[in-house]
Chain A
Amino acid sequence: QVQLQESGPGLVKPSQTLSLTCSVSGGSISSGSYFWSWIWQPAGKGLEWIGRIYSSGATNYNPSLKSRVTISIDTSKNQFSLRLSSVTAADTAVFYCARGPGYCSGPDCYGYYGMDVWGQGTTVSVSS
């Protein structure tokens, strides 16, 4: 059974870069049958999708965050990562990683059926 686990600093200073890692166990992140996603949730608010990556390295990002976000994948470590630059207090949130069924065909990547496995979430606060 695949499990995801987020890790990273719980506190980041304003203007710095937030970095989180999602470790995948019980399955290979190199499988071409999935995409790997990041989602965040500010305290007391709803879910917002950040972006996703495929084992090929292809990515899609939320347009509202695209200028500050990088998602990368390390198949040798079976993990993927999130970097969010120039953080402010508004970036304080619970961050989740998740997996969803998907595939790439040439330059086009697809993921139509939701995200079926989620990490437990990690809280990141932005404060000096």
Chain B
Amino acid sequence: IQMTQSPSSLSASVGDSVTISCRASLSIDTYLNWYQQKPGKAPRLLIYGASNLQSGVPSRFGGSGSGTDFTLTISSLQPEDFATYYCQQSYSSSFTFGPGTKVD
């Protein structure tokens, strides 16, 4: 299953609402996860099952979608949110990640 993300990068300011899209090459139901990665750090799970907020993740992060089209929304961008975001499908027994979206 191939994953694509758009845009590949975006520029935003503190307080902005940000939306990142992820598309799967075939239907993955809601088996879609989102990660945040900062330079030199391991990825951090933000959203699992398309819309479920991982414990400890601020509520300004939200996920939606099903089938092939998914969205990650950051409602009010904070300074610590500048990072690269990856989607990942867990429908197949062979996971795949999207190419990432850099928010700067």
Contact = CB atoms under 8 A, between A and B. Distances in A.
B71 interface: no
Interface stretch (B16-24, B74-82, B85-93): B85-93
B97 A112 contact: no
Contacts of B93: 60, 109
Contacts of B54: 114, 116
Contacts of B7: none
Contact of B86 (A46, A100, A113): A46
Say whether chain B's binding surface is mostly helix, strand, loop, or mixed: loop
Given A46-B99, A47-B86, A114 B33 contact: yes
A119 B31 contact: no
B43 interface: yes
Interface of B: 31, 33, 35, 37, 41-45, 48-49, 52, 54, 86, 88, 90-91, 93-100
Instruction: Give 8 nearest A-B pairs by CB, closest first.
Output: A114-B33, A118-B42, A49-B95, A114-B48, A113-B48, A47-B97, A60-B93, A46-B100
Interface of A: 37, 39, 46-49, 52, 60-63, 96, 98, 100, 109, 111-116, 118-121
